[in-house]
Amino acid sequence: MFSKEKELDTKSGVDVPSHQCDLSSKGVSMGRLAKFTVFVISFLAFTAGDFSRDNLRLMSLSPAADEGYADVKNRIDLSAYTDMRGSGYLSSGQVISKGVVKEAQSGFVLIGKGDRIYVSLAEGESCTSGRTLTVGRVRSEVRSPATGQPAGFVVDFLGTARLEGLIAEYGCAAVLTESFVPIAAGDILMEPRGMEEHCIEPVLIEKEIGATILAAKESMDMISQFSVVYLNAGSSVGLTRGMIMNIYEGRPDIIIGHLIITDVYPETATAVVTDTLREFHPGAKTRASDKRQVEQVLRKASLCSPERGR
């Protein structure tokens, strides 16, 4: 049984039972002891080499510990870096075309969303009303920065077109349902591309996988944060969507940035640069990030909000 004697609470002036005062003082002492114990353990682990300053920072501040991100599992918001709908890809072989844009019904040279066009379909392709195709553009040939040998063609995604059936004397009619950049006669029609979610969950691959950045979107020679880049490796060697990779240029022991894989093909992959210390050039090397490095990227990345992740 606790004593029923009362003492005066010095802060509020309210009578407080003495047993509550005893518990309060014990709680303070226990709290100080717990803090001191945590400090000692952390100091010993740090001096033993088990933790670095970055690791301690990640343990205390990692979004994984934030309940607000529990539902979305720390998904990176790709829309904060670029419009991935027009990211394009590196074709290591022949680009298969379903047809080409012939002309705009309005006669305009440059056309966009909502414009009606005439298309010329490849042999064996049908002008079925309601059929959707991706509009693309093949850019100049990409060569390996290291050897100078042909490495493929970059294909840009420009938008989408929905076929509306045959019109006498004009051929197959269509309407542009999406346009990421101006479209023109001669642009090709391809199989519809499935649109991935903008929120992408990082994937940790615990094995040595490397690749070379062969080119950047729009043939940019200087690559930096937000750049869309194309790698010379794909699913055949283990690359997968959501994989985070370190970027190196020159010295293989100095990481100058990171990228995340957004689309994977058998022999190539498309990625976006999430952060970089400086600009770099095509030919830079990449290597799969380890768990600690992935956590560092998440600390700096733009993450999807809980509302968007649901």
Let me know: does 208 contact 287? Beta carbons within 8 Å: yes
Region 125-129: what's the mean pLDDT?
Answer: 96
| pTM score over 0.85 | no
Both tokens assigned to 201: 């969950």
Domain residue extents for the chain: 69-84+197-309, 97-190
State the pLDDT at residue 138.
95
Smallest CA-to-CA distance from 135 within 105, 115, 106, 108 is with 115
Let me know: does 246 contact 291? Beta carbons within 8 Å: no
Region 226-244: what's the mean pLDDT?
Answer: 97
Q: What percent of the chain has pLDDT over 90?
A: 64
Fold of 69-84+197-309: Thrombin, subunit H (2.40.10)
Q: Report residue 221: phi and psi, to 5°.
A: -85, -30
Asked whether residue 186 carries a pLDDT value surpassing 80, the answer given is yes
Let me know: does 216 contact 270? Beta carbons within 8 Å: no
User: In a 10 Å sphere around its CB, with 0-12 CB exposed, 13-18 middle and 19+ buried, how is residue 300 labelled?
Assistant: exposed
How confident is residue 195, by pLDDT bands cut at 50, 70 and 90?
Answer: low
How confident is residue 307, by pLDDT bands cut at 50, 70 and 90?
Answer: low
For the CA atoms of 302, 303, 306, 308, the dihedral, rounded to the nearest 10 degrees, stands at: 70
State the pLDDT at residue 61.
28
Quickly tell me which residue has 């088990």 as its tokens: 50
Both tokens assigned to 9: 């609470």
Q: How far apart are CA 15 and CA 222, in angstroms?
A: 72
CA distances from 90 to 69, 139, 255 (A): 34, 10, 24
How confident is residue 63, by pLDDT bands cut at 50, 70 and 90?
Answer: very low
